[in-house]
Amino acid sequence: MSKLSGKIALVTGGSRGIGEAIVRRLAADGATVFFTFNSSPDKAHAVAAEIGANALQADVANADSVQNLVKTVLEHPANPAKRVDILVNNAGITKDTLVLRMSESDWDSVIDTNLKGAFLMSKALTKPMMSQRAGKIINIGSIVGITGNAGQVNYSASKAGLIGLTKSFAKELASRNILVNCVAPGYIDTDMTAKISDEQKKALQSSIPLGRTAQPTEIASVVAFLASDDASYVTAQTIVVDGGLAS
């Protein structure tokens, strides 16, 4: 039997990049997967059709959108048990610029998507997971939430916030067997990091002890571990997956 067979997973931002790799991995491990997209329906529906997952539009920064999404997943014909066993808060954006140029809206949109989005999603699923007396919540943070980074005051604050959110949710929900963890990637090859020049990438690679950037599948495998029963005694942790960069 596959590791996640019979489990229902919901992944935010599963249309591209790390989220897409997580969706593919959880489905390959046997889970029934629901995932969200925000602005790229064609890509999302293509992924869903290819692997037999379910793609749904949602804006994680919007409370009504999150409520509708959770209701749809819990009432979906592909989810007759009306449960969610695994929530992966992956959706995230950057609006990088130096602090003197950073606008209030650059700050708000990044905090709303990356941090408030994880709060809204986790809160919406807390009640169902409490009734199930089981659940896994996995937040996708970043090493810059630990190290900080020039030009990313908004983004690194959102990712640092996710670490505190993870620990607090974990402590509050542990008695109901809901395990909450964070995965903090280093530099992963996705659309988000495609803007970096070849020269910058070379310099970055030379500072990574493993000497290379990572593929999204290398984050998905850690998420799959945390989502599985193999991680039944792991909660409130931030697992850094960065090739040794921040150590």
Helix (H) or strand (E) holding 221: helix 216-227
Interaction residues for ligand NDP, span 16-45 (CB under 6 A): 16-19, 36-40
91 is an interface residue for ligand NDP by CB under 6 A = yes
CB 126 within 8 Å of CB 170: no
User: Which residue bears the tokens 């950073």?
Assistant: 102
DSSP tag of 232: T
Interaction residues for ligand NDP, span 210-239 (CB under 6 A): none
- Which of 7, 34, 92, 165 is the binder for ligand NDP (CB under 6 A)? 92
How far apart are the C-alpha atoms of 245 and 208, rounded to whole Å? Answer: 5
User: Which residue bears the tokens 């009734």?
Assistant: 131
Residue among 35, 155, 169, 187 flagged as catalytic: 155
Reference 134, options 125, 121, 143; nearest CA is 125
Q: Let me know if 155 is a catalytic residue.
A: yes
Instruction: Pick the closer one to ligand NDP by CB: 102 or 130.
Output: 102
- Nearest distance, CB of residue 246 and ligand NDP, angstroms: 11
Interaction residues for ligand NDP, span 51-70 (CB under 6 A): 58-61
With helix as H, strand as E and coil as C, how does 156-190 read? HHHHHHHHHHHHHHHHHHHHHCEEEEEEEECCECC
Strands 32-37, 8-11: pairing kind: parallel
Q: How far is CA 246 from CA 4, 70, 213, in A?
A: 31, 35, 13
- Nearest distance, CB of residue 226 and ligand NDP, angstroms: 15
- Which of 42, 64, 104, 191 is the binder for ligand NDP (CB under 6 A)? 191
Map residues 128-167 to x or -, x wherever contact with ligand NDP holds by CB under 6 A.
Answer: ------------x-x-------------------------
Tokens of 5: 């067979």
Map residues 105-124 to x or -, x wherever contact with ligand NDP holds by CB under 6 A.
Answer: --------x-----------
Binding region for ligand NDP (CB under 6 A) = 12-13, 15-19, 36-40, 58-61, 90-93, 113, 140, 142, 185, 187-188, 190-193
